[in-house]
Amino acid sequence: MKIYSTLSGRKEEFSPHDPVRMYVCGVTPYDDSHFGHALSYIVFDAVRRYLEFRDYRVRHVQNFTDIDDKIIGRAKVRGVPVKELVDGLIADYFKDMDSLNILRAHVYPRVTEEMPQIIDMVRGLVDKGYAYQLGGDIYFRVRSRPDYGKLSRRKLEEMSAGARLEVDLAKEHPMDFALWKAAKPGEPSWESPWGLGRPGWHIECSAMSLRYLGDALDIHGGGQDLIFPHHENEIAQSEAFTGQAPLVRYWMHNGLVQLGEAKMSKSLGNLVTVREARARYSSDAIRLFVLSSHYRRPLTYSEEGLQSMERGAERLRLALRPSPAGGAAIEVGEHRQRFIEAMDDDFNTPQAVAVLFELAREINRGREEGLGLTAALGDLRELGGVLGLTFEKVKGALQVAPFRELLDETLKALAVSEPFVGEAAEVALMAKNSSPDECILELIELRKRLRAARQWALADRIRAGLGELGVSLEDTPQGTVWRRAT
RNA sequence: GGCGACGUGGCCAAGUGGUUAAGGCGGGGGUCUGCAAAACCCCUAUCGGCGGUUCGAAUCCGCCCGUCGCCUCCA
C-alpha cells in the first residue's frame, strides 16, 4: 500500500505503527460547516475506513480549535458567550458530518481543554531557546530551525521578500509566529507564566497530537490550504520540542473545493453549507461526487455534477435490490481485487468507484440470467461501505394531500368509464384515512385493473400523475413496484 | 514577484512509456414492455498548442497558450 506524502512529494510504502496514528485537522467552529469541510472529512473517512478494511487498527484524533479571533468576533456580533457559540456549532458540526455517514474520531480534543499541555509546550520551547518573549507574547524563532520550510518547499529568504506582512519590527524575524498571545481586554484568557493570554493558532495541534498520539504520527491530514503556514509551523515547533523527527510519516493534503472560478471559502463568502447540500442530495450522491475525483485534486462544486451522482447512487441502490437465490454464483473476486489495488495506490477512489459500477453491472447481468447473487451483493455492499456509502435514500416524508387529490381525480375519471365505478367507490372508501403509501398502493391497484382491461390511457394517467409527485412505477414480473424518484 | 497544481469524449473524471484510453452522467441505436420504467447489449475521445527524446508518448523534456491554489484567516 502506497501513500503520497506532501513532505517527500512522492508515494511511499505505508508502514505505520499499530495502531495507526492518524491526526486530522479539525474545524474552527465559528460558522456552519461548508462543502469544503465535507470533502475533507469524507476523504479522511474513506482513508480510515479503508485502513480498517485492510485490518489496520486506527487511532483517529481530530481537534476543535475552539478559541480564536474569528470565534471571539462572532460571539461578540451575536451577543453570546464564546462557549455557548462554540458548543452549538460543534453540535451542528457533528450533525452535519453524521448526515454524511462520517465515522467519529476516537478523540476530539479542544484547545480550551488542553491549556496545561499547551503551556507546557510553549514553556519548553522557550527553555530550549526556540522561542522568545516579547511583552506578553511568545514567538517561535523560525531561524532556529534550518529545515524550516521543508513541507511547503519555501525558503525563509524567499518568503520574507515578497510577502505581505505587517512587520512587527520587534520580532527577530518577520516569519516568527506566535505561540502565545497576551490577552486583550474583554477576551477569554488563561493564566500562564507570561501572564493572561491564549495560545497562537498552530501550537494546539502540536500539543494535542503529542498528547494523544505521541511524537511520531503516521498520518496527518488536512486541506492543502493548511500546508503553509499551519503544518509547516507545526513541524517546526513539534520537532523542536521533542527533538524527534519526522513528526509525521505521511502528510496527506486534500485538494480544495472550488465554486465557479474561485476557491470556496469563508472569507470569500461563496459557500455552500453541508446542510444545504444535504437537503438537496443524498449522502451517497455527495460522497460519490467527492470520491469520483482524486483527493489531491481540486474539485469544482456543481449542481449538475451532484445530480448526475444522485442518478449514479440510485443505480447502485437498484443493483442491490434483493434477488431470489439463483443457480451458480457469479464470479466477483476480480472486482474485489481491483478495488483493493485501486485503494492501495494512494487511495485512488475514482477507480474504486468505477469498480463498484462495474460490479453493479455484473450483478444486473447475473440477475437477468438467474444466477446466484448473494456473494456479489455482499461484496458491493461491503466495498461501497468502505467508501462510506449507505445505499439508503432518505427523503422527507411524502405529503398525503396530493396523493389523495390524485386518487380523487382518478376516481372521478373512472366514474365515466363504466366497469370500474363500483370497485372504485369501494377503494375510495378504504382510502379515506390512508397514508401516502396506502394512496399509492390504491392507485397502483386501480391501474392494475385498468391495464387488465386494456384501458391504457387512464392507466398511463395514473403513472404520469404519480410521476409528477415524485413516485415512479416499474412493472415487473412480480407486479408493480414504486419508489421515490431521484 | 516566489512556490505549486492542472488542461483527457457533450459534462464530470481515472490512466502517466507499449494489447481495444477506466467509470459515471448525458446522447443515439437495439432487446424487454401495451407503452414506459428499470436492466442488458452496441455506438459516442487520440488526450491544450508547437517542437524534441524514444523502436514506441496522453504518459518524459523544452517553449507557448489557458485555468487554479498557496505565499494572510481557511478543510
Looking at residue A420, its pLDDT comes to 57
- How confident is the model over A81-108, as pLDDT tens digits? 999 999 999 999 999 999 999 999 999 9
Looking at residue A425, its pLDDT comes to 60
pLDDT-derived band at A191, boundaries 50, 70, 90: very high
- How confident is the model over A388-404, as pLDDT tens digits? 999 998 777 888 999 98
Looking at residue A266, its pLDDT comes to 62
Q: Work out the average pLDDT over A59-63.
A: 97
Domain A300-386 class, CATH top level: mainly alpha
Looking at residue A327, its pLDDT comes to 77
Q: Work out the average pLDDT over A66-85.
A: 94
Topology (CATH level 3) of domain A2-263: Rossmann fold (3.40.50)
Q: Is the CB of A10 under 7 A from strand B?
A: no
Looking at residue A164, its pLDDT comes to 44
- How confident is the model over A359-379, as pLDDT tens digits? 999 999 999 988 999 999 999
pLDDT at A204 over 90: yes
Looking at residue A171, its pLDDT comes to 87
3-state class of A345 per DSSP? strand
Strand B contact nucleotides, protein CB < 7 Å: 1-6, 11-15, 22-26, 33-41, 67-75
pLDDT at A32 over 60: yes
User: Closest nucleotide to A34's CA, by C1' atom?
Assistant: B75
Report the candidate in A359, A361, A390, A388 with the shortest Cα–Cα distance to residue A375: A359
pLDDT-derived band at A424, boundaries 50, 70, 90: low
pLDDT at A59 over 50: yes
The cell for A435 is 397514508
Q: Is the CB of A201 under 7 A from strand B?
A: yes
Between CA A34 and CA A46, with CA A40 as vertex, the angle to 5 degrees is 130
Q: State how far the Cα of A2 lies from the Cα of A234, in Å rounded to an integer.
A: 24
User: Closest nucleotide to A308's CA, by C1' atom?
Assistant: B25
Measure, in angstroms, how far nucleotide B69 C1' is from residue A347 CA: 22
Residue A69, Cβ density class (10 Å: 0-12 exposed, 13-18 middle, ≥19 buried):
middle
Q: Which DSSP string do the residues of A462-485 spell out, in sequence order? A: HHHHHHHTTEEEEEETTEEEEEE-
Q: Is the CB of A78 under 7 A from strand B?
A: no
Measure, in angstroms, how far nucleotide B39 C1' is from residue A318 CA: 10
Q: Is the CB of A290 under 7 A from strand B?
A: no
Measure, in angstroms, how far nucleotide B7 C1' is from residue A300 CA: 14
User: Looking at this predicted complex, what is its ipTM?
Assistant: 0.96
Strands A248-254 and A177-182: unpaired
pLDDT-derived band at A267, boundaries 50, 70, 90: low
pLDDT at A269 over 80: no
Q: State how far the Cα of A58 lies from the Cα of A51, in Å rounded to an integer.
A: 7
Which residues of chain A (211-230) touch nucleic strand B at CB < 7 A? 222-230
Amino acid at A368: E
Please, what is the average pLDDT of chain A? 91
pLDDT at A332 over 50: yes
The DSSP output letter for A253 is: E
Looking at residue A110, its pLDDT comes to 97
Question: C-alpha distances in angstroms, A230 versus A82, A99, A152, A204, A486?
Answer: 23, 28, 10, 11, 41
Which range, of A64-68, A99-103, A212-216, A332-336, averages the lowest pLDDT?
A: A332-336
Q: Work out the average pLDDT over A310-336.
A: 89
Q: Name residues whose C-beta falls within 8 Å of residue A129's C-beta, 6 or more positions apart in sequence.
A: A141, A144
Q: Which residues of A261-280 are buried (b: 16+ CB within 10 A; e: fewer)?
A: eebbbeeeebbbbbeebbee
Q: The dihedral of CA A209, A210, A212, A218: what is its sign?
A: positive
- How confident is the model over A155-167, as pLDDT tens digits? 887 776 544 445 5
Question: C-alpha distances in angstroms, A289 versus A147, A197, A213, A307, A308?
Answer: 38, 43, 32, 9, 9
Which residues of chain A (368-397) touch nucleic strand B at CB < 7 A? 368
Looking at residue A165, its pLDDT comes to 46
Contact A52, A44 (CB under 8 A): no
pLDDT at A168 over 70: no
Domain ranges across chain A: 2-263, 300-386, 400-484
Contact A443, A406 (CB under 8 A): yes
Q: Name residues whose C-beta falls within 8 Å of residue A57's C-beta, 6 or more positions apart in sequence.
A: A18, A19, A20
Q: Work out the average pLDDT over A281-298.
A: 96
Looking at residue A163, its pLDDT comes to 45
Looking at residue A270, its pLDDT comes to 72
